[in-house]
Amino acid sequence: MAVAQSAMIEGLNKQFVEAFKTRDFSAVADMFTDDAVMLPPRRNIITGKSKIQSFWTRSKRLHELKFDTDSVTTLGSDVVREIGTLRMLIGRGGGRGGEDSSEASSDQAERAQPREISGKYVFVWRKLNDGWKLETSIWNRNRPDKSSRRRGRRRKRE
Q: Decide: helix, strand or coil at residue 101.
A: coil
Would you say residue 14 has pLDDT above 70? yes
CATH number at residue 8: 3.10.450.50
* pLDDT digit string, tens, across residues 19-37: 999 999 999 999 999 999 9
* pLDDT digit string, tens, across residues 31-88: 999 999 999 998 999 999 999 999 999 888 888 899 999 999 999 999 999 999 999 9
Q: Decide: helix, strand or coil at residue 27.
A: helix
- Total domains, the chain: 1
Would you say residue 149 has pLDDT above 90? no
- Across the chain, the runs of DSSP E, i.e. the strands, are 32-39, 46-47, 62-76, 79-90, 115-128, 131-141
* pLDDT digit string, tens, across residues 90-143: 886 433 333 343 444 555 555 567 888 899 999 999 999 989 999 999 999 888
Residue 129 DSSP code: T
Structural domain boundaries, residue 20? 2-157
Query: Does residue 84 contact residue 63 with C-beta atoms inside 8 Å?
Result: no
